[in-house]
A = this chain, B = another copy of it.
Amino acid sequence: MKARPTLEDVAGLAGVSTATVSRVLNEPERVSAKTRSRVEAAVAHFDYTPHFGGQALASNRTNTVGAVIPTMENAIFARGLQALQEALAEDGVTLVVATSNYDPEREAQQIRTLLGRGVDGFVLIGEARDPALYTMLERRGVPFVLVWSWRPDCPWPCVGFDNRAAARAMAERVFELGHRRIAMIAGVTRGNDRAAARVDGVRDALAARGLHLDESNLIESPYRLEAGADAARQLLAAPTPWQNRPTAIVCGNDVLAAGALTAIRDLGLKAPADVSVTGFDDIDLAIVLDPSLTTVHVPHRRMGQAAARLLLRLRAREDDTTNVVFETALVERGSLAAAGK
């Protein structure tokens, strides 16, 4: 049972001091080419890798950033994380992921856990959380970036898009196609500013046209297929449009929309002939549905990359750290059509 090699072992073999080995590893240019190659050979011989704890203790850095996301089971976060992780890895930074299951208290708990683990940077989803958390992060001097959410005056470093404006644009398009009985299946808005902003956006659009999203036409559901299906069944309980059945259902994300489409099919109705459906996010799912889903395209991967870049700059204490806002695009596919008469 061989013990793990240390700097000292390497130094011994190379016939130099541990300081020199450390330099070869961290600032190679400050070591003469000759000794450097000798040290490198010794490193290779032992298959040496620095001890994480020792490094962290001496330098007080871990080169680790933490991301706390609602759940990995939502494809948008999986995508974003993948991109984030790849971009961070290029700079030698490791990503640690924790999940909150859309629960603010659990999120706070996870942040504390990761802080304890010595992460020196955070990626957090959205903006809605206890202000005390922000002050705590700032006091500790741990940089962070908020992702997936953006609004004009966000006081924190953020990389995202305008959920509200995008949802509004979608609802306007639905109206434009002649729909007047419009319902919404939203995500759960508590502790989720993106879900809330999407509801607000739809409200904006309708209010500007004298319509109102009353209680019976707005259902909040967890982001799961069956929940979307249940909500759709409830909204479609009335047998016909002139008995108050909506002609269009705007959904808070693609998963809910997929669930709604499944329910519509099971009810013996046809989308979009009987009822139109729209989604949000444009995950892969959207194009394999039948009808394919009209939705809002969000550049998840690019957001992940941009978040990585911004966080790396913050960690380096650079000045050029402006927020990044992405455009979204309404992609029209088969699930939204003009309102039948």
- The interface of chain A, by Cβ under 8 A from chain B, is 1-2, 4, 47, 49-58, 60, 62, 64, 71-73, 75, 78-79, 81-82, 85-86, 89, 94-99, 112-118, 136, 139-141, 225, 255, 258-259, 261-262, 265, 284-285, 287-290
Contacts and interface: CB of A to CB of B under 8 A. Distances in A.
A307 B86 CA distance: 25
Contacts of A56: 51-53, 56-57
Given A49-B116, A78-B72, A285 B285 contact: yes
Given A52-B62, A140-B4, A265 B290 contact: yes
Given A53-B57, A95-B96, 16 more contacts: A2-B139, A47-B136, A52-B62, A53-B56, A53-B118, A56-B57, A57-B57, A73-B82, A82-B99, A89-B98, A94-B117, A225-B284, A262-B287, A265-B290, A285-B285, A285-B288
Q: Interface of chain A, helix or strand or loop or mixed? A: helix
A272 to B, nearest CB: 14
Contacts of A117: 52, 64, 94
Contacts of A141: 1
5 contacts: A49-B116, A51-B57, A53-B58, A94-B96, A289-B289
The count of identical subunits is: 2
Nearest to A262: B288
Given A53-B54, A117-B52, A72 B81 contact: yes
A85 B57 contact: no
Given A4-B140, A225-B284, A262-B288, A60 B49 contact: no
Contacts of A47: 136
Please indicate which of the listed interface residues A1, A52, A259, A261 has the most CB atoms of chain B within 10 Å of its own CB: A52
A55 B52 contact: no
Given A288-B285, A288-B289, A94 B113 contact: yes
Nearest to A292: B262
Contacts of A49: 112, 115-116
